[in-house]
Structure 1
């Protein structure tokens, strides 16, 4: 299994060491997040990114535009331990249909490395690896702190039905995660030279 992962880099004082995780017997190389974009090479060769907001029941998805400037909501996948192979097939289809280059996975960088949300994200990645269907897919973790809460506060006055509210929150939390990544790396001066 070669599902490659990258973590948020030391520019934020978090995860300043790059290290190797071993998920499901598969080595995942954890390196700084900026290398995901750097590995894409020329801007004309780059694909789009898929943002993921991983929850206990749902995974919210957002996709970048072809220029990797703007994130838009895409969909929500239902998450169960028994449907990981189906989710992996959905991801394969999205990679092909949307010309995706990598995943930006929301991760709670709040200093508590063992909180329930962080464990949940790691279990999700582990379960995807176990499917064997996403070999070679690159991903990075990006800070998701308060993305869901911000969206929840924005839509609360709309008084939507709970299920509709939850799917909107998950999709737009994924947008917040992906847009944060895109904004950060589109400000880098070395990108303008490409």
Structure 2
């Protein structure tokens, strides 16, 4: 997993509340176990609407998505996080998230930032014309207009994201301890 420290750039001012995982990636796209290519199906129903932000050239390749309350609700499909990552999104800012979506996003290297509605409204305004910056270490979201919003994050999740550690990476980081345990166990219990 790629470490996440700062995320800067254009932010997609989506803003909708109660966006479920079926809106993020419709069920017909779930016939794959590959993480690649799902960005093509991301927000397919929204993209069918004229003038949607996802097809606006100003936001193509944006690393940040700004959403409304309860983002990622619905089913527990991990494909939703995969689709966002395939779009190039590395952070989603919203007033609240579904717990399962937030967990899936974290496991796939996507930072979820919870901010109050007033902060979301301000960021939506700024995102229409200017970039936004997220500093994970400082736990801040800033704009060039001196806006500064702080956010909370679980210390374990912060550590993992800063160091690019997924579940496999966490296990590999303990390789020396695991090897020492296995050697000791083989010596103490050779019959196993």
Q: Same fold (TM over 0.5)?
A: no
Higher radius of gyration, 1 or 2 = 2
The structure showing larger relative contact order (alpha-carbon pairs under 8 Å, at least 6 residues apart) is 1
Q: Determine which structure has the larger strand proportion and give its number.
A: 1
TM-score, L = length of structure 2: 0.30
TM-score, L = length of structure 1: 0.30
